Amino acid sequence: MYPFSFTKVSDTQGALNAGRRGGRYIAGGTTLVDLMRETVERPETLVDISALPLHEVTVTEGGALRIGALVRMAEAAAHPSVRLTYPVVSQALELSASPQLRNMATIGGNIMQRTRCAYFRDVSAACNKREPGSGCAAREGVNRTHAILGTSESCVATHPSDVAVAFAALEASVRLLGPDGARTVAFADFLLRPGSTPNREQALRKGELITAVEIPAHPRPLRSGYLKVRDRQSYEFALTSAAVALHIRGGVIREAKVAAGGVGTVPWKLPAVEQHLIGERPSKVLWAEAAEKAADGAHPLQHNGFKVELLKRTVERQLRTVGGTK
Ligand code: SF4
pLDDT at 268: 98
Which atom of ligand 1 is found nearest the CA of 118?
A: 4
pLDDT at 66 over 90: yes
Class of domain 1-48: alpha beta
Radius of gyration of the chain (CA): 20
pLDDT at 326 over 70: no
pLDDT at 2: 83
**Is 229's C-beta closer than 6 angstroms to any atom of ligand 1?**
no
pLDDT at 136: 98
**Is 127's C-beta closer than 6 angstroms to any atom of ligand 1?**
yes
pLDDT at 230: 97
**Is 120's C-beta closer than 6 angstroms to any atom of ligand 1?**
yes
Tally: H helices and E strands in the chain: 12, 12
In tens, the pLDDT along 194-205 reads 999 999 999 999
Phi, psi at residue 200, to the nearest 5°? -100, 110
Closest residue by Cα to atom 2, ligand 1, is 155
**Is 73's C-beta closer than 6 angstroms to any atom of ligand 1?**
no
Which atom of ligand 1 is found nearest the CA of 157?
A: 5
Mode of pairing for the β-strands spanning 268-269 and 24-26:
unpaired
- Quick check: 64 and 215 in contact, CB under 8 A? yes
- Quick check: 96 and 84 in contact, CB under 8 A? no
What's the mean pLDDT when you consider all of the chain? 97
Instruction: Please list the residue range(s) of the chain that carry CATH number 3.30.43.
Output: 1-48
Kindly state the helix (H) or strand (E) to which residue 227 belongs, with its residue range.
strand 223-229
Phi, psi at residue 250, to the nearest 5°? 65, 30
- Beta-carbon contacts of 301 under 8 Å, excluding residues fewer than 6 positions away, are 138, 139, 143, 146, 148, 156
Which atom of ligand 1 is found nearest the CA of 154?
A: 8
Q: Amino acid identity of 254?
A: R
Give first-to-last CA distance, the chain, whole Å. Answer: 53
Instruction: Please list the residue range(s) of the chain that carry CATH number 3.30.390.50.
Output: 223-323
223-323 folds as: Enolase-like; domain 1 (3.30.390)
